[in-house]
Amino acid sequence: MNKITNHLPTAELQALDAAHHMHPFTANAFLAEKGARVITRATGVTLTDSEGEQILDAMAGLWCVNIGYGRDELADVAYRQMKELPYYNTFFMSTHVPAIALADKVAELAPGNLNHVFFASGGSEANDTNIRLVRTYWQNLGKPSKQIIIGRNNAYHGSTLGATSLGGMKGMQAQGGLLPGFAHIGQPHWYLEGGDMSPEEFGLMRARELEAKIAELGEENVAAFIAEPVQGAGGVIVPPDSYWPEIQRICDAHDILLIVDEVITGFGRTGEWFGTQYYGLRPDIITIAKGLSSGYAPIGGSVVSDHVAEVLGREEFAHGYTYSGHPVAAAVALENLRILEDEKIVDHVKNEAAPYLAEKWHQLGDHPFVGETKIVGMMASLALTADKSVRKPFESPAGTVGYMVREKCFANNLIMRHVGDRMIVAPPLVMTKADIDLLFERAVKSLDEGYAAVKEAGLL
């Protein structure tokens, strides 16, 4: 029998964790000294840790628990599906009902002519699929030189080798993570990089880098452009209004595919079903994961247009994962979508939760420590600054101050993340006004305490 349970003392769990468990995106030696926070259970928007603390999860796990924790319906569906058909594949001319039903539902919800789903187990895998998919599409059309995919600096598309190459995280790429066949343009991050330009001028300038990059590489060599509607892991970077229309124009004017990575923005986060609808985009492919199952089961996918699916289907596409369309994950995702629809959670975001969160979030902008506040639906960021009148960054290495504020949030039982010296939230979509009030109260306290600590440390 397994002797490691929730009943062990925290210190013992932490020691065992440090001994055998390698954490993602972590300096494990540092964590072993500090001890990881042990999360034991969760309901609604609240986590409980091994010390019995109640923590408000303003990050919805990793931007994924859209319907909140503790929904028995999903557990029941998983149990039933595991008994009926725990596994079968969809290779070799077979299929099963959960994959059929989920693909049908996603095609119904996805905008425009995005009607065909290739399943994966998460966002990174789905983006890896996209790389091979767009290259094969052009080969099938007799244009095999069209292979390069253009992404953006500071974009995140996942951690596999392919997804790391699509993205623009320099630190990840430095750790053996950049393949040939990828190119990158600048990000529409006005606050950090906009200089004296207006946000609108800067947005246009950054979009036009795509056109310049296509010209530089030769249109005959470019397969696709990929971007998140709002950069998530990059720091919830909301592009200026001028940005997306210009990107869409450029994609229309040139013979390249547009891949919109909706892993975070899909399934209600922006107050629309997809970020594509929020910005009025016409992608050829979208990447989905996270909110597809609200994180209750690992599943993702590429949703492709009628035209792309038709071209791809002309030959065997020699690609697939053992768990593509896994029946339990698919059944759980379908139930999650039923809840999102039946409980009108996307409307709740658009009409109640997001406007209220925006009202509160922008109030944080009055804090002397806060340079700008940004929000789209239920994803928001604020820039910590040494001098808000001139958008001055801190002199300490980027992330020093952000980490100090994050530690205060943690101590105040609020999960808010830092990306460099930017603080971000992406709460479960089901947050009530009372939950948002609590988030605000703890955020203010943490900012006040963080400000004091930063001054005391002589960083301001």
- Binding region for ligand PMP (CB under 6 A): 62, 122-124, 127, 156-158, 228, 232-233, 261, 263-264, 289, 300
Residue number, 289 or 414, with CB nearest to ligand PMP: 289
Residue that the structure tokens 């009926």 belong to? 84
Question: Which one, of 439, 402, 405, 395, lies nearest residue 419 by Cα?
Answer: 402
Residue 217's alpha-carbon distances to 150, 152, 178, 181, 380, in angstroms, are 10, 15, 18, 11, 35
CA angle 157, 162, 165 (to 5 degrees): 70
Residue number, 295 or 402, with CB nearest to ligand PMP: 295
CB of residue 109 to ligand PMP, shortest distance in Å:
18
**Count of Cβ atoms closer than 10 Å to residue 6 Cβ:** 10
Residue that the structure tokens 């950069």 belong to? 231
CA angle 301, 226, 193 (to 5 degrees): 135
Residue number, 17 or 261, with CB nearest to ligand PMP: 261
Tell me whether strands 46-49 and 285-288 are parallel, antiparallel or unpaired.
unpaired
DSSP string, 65-129: -TT-B--HHHHHHHHHHHHH-S---S-TT---HHHHHHHHHHHHHS-TTEEEEEEESSHHHHHHH
Residue number, 263 or 309, with CB nearest to ligand PMP: 263
Residue number, 189 or 408, with CB nearest to ligand PMP: 189
CB of residue 363 to ligand PMP, shortest distance in Å:
27
Residue number, 415 or 460, with CB nearest to ligand PMP: 415
Query: Closest residue (Cβ) to ligand PMP?
Result: 123
CB of residue 303 to ligand PMP, shortest distance in Å:
14
Please, what's the largest Cα pairwise distance for the chain? 66
CB of residue 262 to ligand PMP, shortest distance in Å:
8
CB of residue 120 to ligand PMP, shortest distance in Å:
8
Q: Phi, psi at residue 378, to the nearest 5°?
A: -105, 45
Taking the C-alpha atoms of residue 229 and residue 22, their distance in angstroms, rounded to an integer, is 32
Taking the C-alpha atoms of residue 267 and residue 273, their distance in angstroms, rounded to an integer, is 5
CB of residue 286 to ligand PMP, shortest distance in Å:
11
Residue that the structure tokens 């409307």 belong to? 347
CB of residue 94 to ligand PMP, shortest distance in Å:
26
Residue number, 97 or 161, with CB nearest to ligand PMP: 161
CB of residue 156 to ligand PMP, shortest distance in Å:
5
CB of residue 231 to ligand PMP, shortest distance in Å:
8
Report the residue count for the chain: 460
Residue number, 63 or 394, with CB nearest to ligand PMP: 63
Residue number, 67 or 454, with CB nearest to ligand PMP: 67
